[in-house]
Structures are given as C-alpha cells and as structure tokens.
Chains A and B, each alone.
Chain A
Amino acid sequence: MAGRQPRFNQTTLVDTTPLPADIPPVAEIGSSSAPLLSASFFIGARCKPYNDDFMQCKTESAGKGEVDCLKEGRRVTRCATSVIEDVNKHCLAEFRKHWQCLDNNNQQLWQCRPEEWKLNKCVFENLKLEKVIPDAPKGETPVHLRTRQIYAHNGP
C-alpha cells in the first residue's frame, strides 16, 4: 500500500491526514529500489541491531506490531537514512555509478561487479562498513569478489 501512489484523474485517492502530533515524525528513506539494493549490505552492516530489534518486536507483538513497533521502526529508518547520507557524502560518484548500472541491468548484482568493487572500497575506507554475505560456504571466494562472473554479459 505504501509503495505505489495510485493516480486518478479526478481525485487523489490517498488519505493524506498526517500522523498525530504525539507520534514523533521521521523523514522517510525516500530512495528507490536500485540505490537501496546498492546500499543494502552497508545498511545491514550498520543497522543490524536496530533491524533485529524491530523484527523481534514485530514477532513478539503478534498481530499488533504495526502499532506497537513504531518506535523501533523509526530507529530502523533513521539508521538506514544515516547510512544513505554517509554514502552520499563520501562516495557519491561510485554510488551513483553502481546503482545506475543496477538500474540498467535489471538489478542483477553480478552485472555490475567492477562498479561494486569501487563502491565497496570507497565505503570501507571512509565508513568502515564491509559487505559480507552471511552463511557463504567457507574456503571459497565470496561471489561478489570473484574476478570472473560466469553469468555477466560482458564479464570483468
């Protein structure tokens, strides 16, 4: 429901009443899918405690999490926003290159490895956030670091 704003000719069929004043406002993340996908592992690296907190809250307050977990949700959004802002501040060029590549390649991560390596390097140097894929088999190069991507159209 939140994702796509319905458009009609006569009226905007969205209830635009704002949240009541006793619920603190928070700026939404406001970025589209490709930048989010590009930054997802950095968001995961920095915001894991908040994310886990939020998901635990949702699990424990079964059925009422929408209302009860607003506070945790605000924390999650603030943390993710901070990551996006930091990446924008330090690695804007690499970030843009990577998510535009993702946008042009059907959001397939393996098509954009060179851009991703540059972005990962920049983010690691400036923000100390590293992309780690959990549960990957040990003793192998992680997929995002392999120099030869089997499925890429024009491999690096």
Chain B
Amino acid sequence: MPQDLPPVGGYEPVQYKRNLPARGFRPSVMLLGVAGIMTFGFYKIGKGIREQNELAREKMWSRIHLIPLLTAEEDRDLVRRHLADQKREEELLGSRTSPYHSDRFVRPTYAVTPSQKST
C-alpha cells in the first residue's frame, strides 16, 4: 500500500493573515481629532463653570440685600409675641420669671395662643 504523500509541487501557501481593509483615518489623525474635541469640550465646561460662579454670586447678593429686611420683619413678629407672652404671664402668675440664666432673647419653642372661640 503506497504511503500518503504531499502532492507533487508541494502544498499551497497557508493564508494566516486576515485580509481586512484598514478603514478610517490614520491612528495619529484619530488621536489628534479626539484631543481637539476634548479640548473644545473642556473649554466650554470652563466657560460654563465661570458663568455659574457669576450667577451664584448674583443670587447670593440678591439675598444679602434682602436679608436685613426679612430679619427685621421676623424680629418684629418675634418681639410682638414675646411681649404678649410676658404680658399674659404677668396677668396669670402676677410676676415675670425667666427660665433662662441670661438676659438674651431666646426664641420660643412652643407658641401659646390665647383662647378664642373656634370658628
């Protein structure tokens, strides 16, 4: 029985390389393009952050201009309630006694309301 031998003239060359076309730009161009896009994006982000800072400054100053007004109104209300409280206390107990060991103004935790008819 004859042996299995290679064909006459040898085997065909084996194709081990893929035969795919190299699509798109060159890698260096791609890299440059991506860098450009990112630079532009960061530039826009920087602009936006600067603008946000300025907008925040504007908002803060608008509030700063209003705070004395709002505080004054609230203080007046607090003092009105405080004086009414003290007057009521004097009427009910005959004396004014502060529960605090200081003469500072303490914001009341509980609000006592005068009795009134339910409507």
Contact = CB atoms under 8 A, between A and B. Distances in A.
B92 interface: no
B66 interface: yes
Contact of B112 (A15, A19, A54): A15
Contact of B47 (A28, A44, A135, A150): A150
Interface in B52-69: 52, 54-55, 57-59, 61-69
A64 interface: yes
Contacts of A2: 73-74, 77-78
B38 interface: no
B23 to A, nearest CB: 37
Interface string A55-94: 1001000111111011011101100100000000000000
Interface of B: 47-48, 51-52, 54-55, 57-59, 61-69, 71-85, 87, 102-105, 107, 111-114, 116, 118-119
A11 B54 contact: no
Interface of A: 1-3, 10-20, 23, 26, 28-29, 36-37, 40-41, 43-44, 47, 50-51, 54-55, 58, 62-67, 69-70, 72-74, 76-77, 80, 109-110, 133-137, 142-144, 146, 150-151
Contacts of A109: 55, 58-59, 62
B105 A11 contact: no
B104 A63 contact: yes
Contact of A44 (B61, B77, B78, B83): B61
Given A1-B74, A15-B113, A43 B104 contact: no
Contacts of A51: 65, 67-69
Contact of A143 (B54, B63, B74, B116): B54
A72 B82 CA distance: 19
Contacts of B66: 36-37, 40, 43
A11 B115 CA distance: 9
Contact of A110 (B47, B55, B103, B116): B55
